[in-house]
């Protein structure tokens, strides 16, 4: 009885055993009672007969002619009408359950080289994915987000964009964290980000520290240095990134190491320099951008970007164009210890 209970404990096992018994019984009766050389006695032909008869399709291309063979055929048909339908229903329920579990974040995923975000903010995540999809290298990269219990109610609202995993003791395993390309941890606070990153690193060490790119989302710029120091104690390769700007996060995901440049620049501005906007007076002339940059460097300032006008919302361009000139009416983004007073008349014409 224990053996029977163990075999039938799963609901699909009993109908599967009935079908197997019908297969063997039908084969035995047909092999014994059908005429020698009958086509239906061939193993592969009987397999086809069992399939079409068990599903009640009944093409009629193969059929037993003896009384014993017909009894075997009847067994096959009855098993298909009963156990076969039950097994099909169980398969349908299993597929529906799998879809529901995936939509609710309780399924085991099977991704490699994917992006995992730990912490869920729908608008921010959609913004990051939108930025990533513009890069052909990331156009088809799967995205998985691990969400806290209070962050997602019901099913995944964007199943075409990302998969969801509910946070529990098996969340990292179900999200295939060890096989990810990049993991972005976004806690509700910076302190929570540090704690969760500690769990992420501890989990990855079980798998021999696989080469996973780790990004830690920082909310409070005023604590940037403190958070960076705490993350450095957890792992030397963890990059802090400003999570309030999806474009910055997407750039950091696509280019490991760039987040540190952003972060170090912001930390430098906080520590010993300030970013200033300087308007170039109209009518003062024009100069090559390289000449202006060298002139400012000699005065202790660094030209960071050039704006198209004096307007408050003017577009600033970081990268220099070939042969670019700076002229009156534009604006400059300059890094300096104090607001620079630029003697425009000393610039060579």
Closest residue by Cα to residue 183 from 196, 195, 169: 196
Tokens at residue 122, please? 């729908």
Q: Same domain for 209 and 234?
A: yes
Q: Same domain for 136 and 258?
A: yes
Q: Which of the four pLDDT bands, split at 50, 70 and 90, describes residue 6?
A: low
Q: How far is Cα 60 from Cα 238, in angstroms, rounded to an integer? A: 68
Q: Same domain for 183 and 243?
A: yes
Q: Is residue 110 part of a domain?
A: no
Q: Is residue 39 part of a domain?
A: yes
Q: Which of the four pLDDT bands, split at 50, 70 and 90, describes residue 272?
A: low
Summarize the confidence of residues 164-193 as an average pLDDT: 95
- In whole numbers, what is the pLDDT of the chain averaged over residues? 87
- Report DSSP letters for 300-339, one per residue: T-EEEEEESSSSTT--EE-SPPTT-EEETT-EEEEEESS-
Closest residue by Cα to residue 247 from 127, 69, 109: 127
Q: Same domain for 91 and 119?
A: no
Per mean pLDDT, which of 31-40, 80-89, 138-147, 307-316 is the most reliable?
138-147
Tokens at residue 270, please? 């906080």
CA dihedral sign of residues 323, 326, 328, 331: positive
**Which value, to the nearest 10 degrees, does the dihedral of the CA atoms of residues 68, 71, 76, 77 take?**
140
Is residue 7 pLDDT above 60, yes or no? Answer: no
pTM of the model as a whole = 0.63
pLDDT for position 1: 57
Q: Is residue 48 part of a domain?
A: yes
Q: Is residue 226 part of a domain?
A: yes
CATH code of the domain covering residue 174: 3.40.50.720
Cα-based angle 222, 270, 258 (whole degrees, multiple of 5): 90
Q: Determine the length of the chain.
A: 349
Q: How far is Cα 82 from Cα 35, in angstroms, rounded to an integer? A: 29
Q: Which of the four pLDDT bands, split at 50, 70 and 90, describes residue 98?
A: low
Q: How far is Cα 131 from Cα 127, in angstroms, rounded to an integer? A: 6
Is residue 8 pLDDT above 50, yes or no? Answer: no
Summarize the confidence of residues 55-66 as an average pLDDT: 84
CATH code of the domain covering residue 294: 3.30.70
pLDDT for position 243: 87
Is residue 163 pLDDT above 90, yes or no? Answer: yes
pLDDT for position 10: 58
Domain with 7, as residue range(s), is 2-104
User: Percentage of the chain surpassing pLDDT 90?
Assistant: 44
Closest residue by Cα to residue 220 from 254, 256, 268, 263: 263
Is residue 271 pLDDT above 70, yes or no? Answer: no
Q: Same domain for 152 and 195?
A: yes
Q: Same domain for 137 and 166?
A: yes
Q: Is residue 142 part of a domain?
A: yes
Q: Same domain for 23 and 168?
A: no
Structural domains of the chain, count: 3
Question: How are the residues of the chain apportioned to helix, strand and coil, as percentages rounded to the nearest 5?
Answer: 50, 15, 35
Q: How far is Cα 315 from Cα 209, in angstroms, rounded to an integer? A: 42
Q: How far is Cα 256 from Cα 198, in angstroms, rounded to an integer? A: 20
Give tens-digit pLDDT for 202-239: 999 999 999 999 999 988 777 878 888 999 999 988 99
Is residue 186 pLDDT above 70, yes or no? Answer: yes
Q: Same domain for 131 and 192?
A: yes
């Amino acid at each position: 009885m224990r053996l029977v209970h163990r075999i039938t404990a799963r609901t699909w096992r009993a109908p599967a055993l009935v079908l197997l018994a019908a297969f063997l019984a039908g084969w035995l009766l047909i092999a014994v009672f059908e005429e020698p050389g009958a086509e239906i006695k061939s193993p592969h032909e009987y397999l086809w007969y069992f399939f079409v008869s068990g599903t009640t399709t009944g093409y009629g291309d193969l059929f037993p002619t003896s009384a014993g063979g017909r009894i075997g055929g009847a067994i096959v048909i009855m098993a298909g009408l009963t156990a076969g339908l039950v097994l099909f229903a169980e398969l349908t329920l299993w597929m529906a359950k799998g879809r529901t579990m995936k939509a609710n974040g309780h399924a085991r995923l099977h991704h490699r080289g994917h992006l995992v975000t730990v912490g869920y903010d729908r608008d921010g995540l959609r913004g990051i994915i939108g930025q990533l999809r513009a890069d052909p290298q990331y156009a088809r990269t799967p995205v998985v987000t691990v969400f806290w219990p209070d962050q997602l109610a019901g099913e995944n609202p964007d199943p075409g964009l990302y998969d969801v995993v509910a946070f529990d003791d098996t969340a990292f395993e179900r999200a295939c964290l060890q096989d990810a390309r990049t993991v972005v941890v976004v806690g509700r606070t910076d302190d929570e980000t540090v704690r969760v990153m500690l769990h992420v690193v501890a989990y990855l060490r079980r798998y021999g520290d696989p080469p996973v790119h780790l990004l830690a989302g920082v909310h409070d710029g005023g604590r940037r240095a403190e958070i960076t120091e705490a993350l450095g104690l957890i792992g030397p390769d963890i990059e802090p990134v400003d999570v309030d700007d999806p474009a910055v996060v997407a750039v950091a995901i696509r280019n490991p190491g760039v987040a540190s440049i952003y972060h170090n620049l912001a930390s430098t501005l906080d520590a010993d320099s300030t970013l200033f906007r300087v308007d170039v007076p109209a009518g003062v002339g024009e100069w090559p951008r390289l000449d202006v940059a060298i002139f400012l460097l000699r005065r202790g300032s660094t030209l960071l970007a050039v704006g198209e006008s004096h307007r408050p919302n003017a577009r600033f361009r970081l990268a220099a164009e070939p042969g670019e000139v700076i002229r009156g009416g534009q604006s400059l983004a300059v890094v300096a210890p104090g607001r620079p007073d630029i003697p425009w008349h000393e610039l060579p014409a």
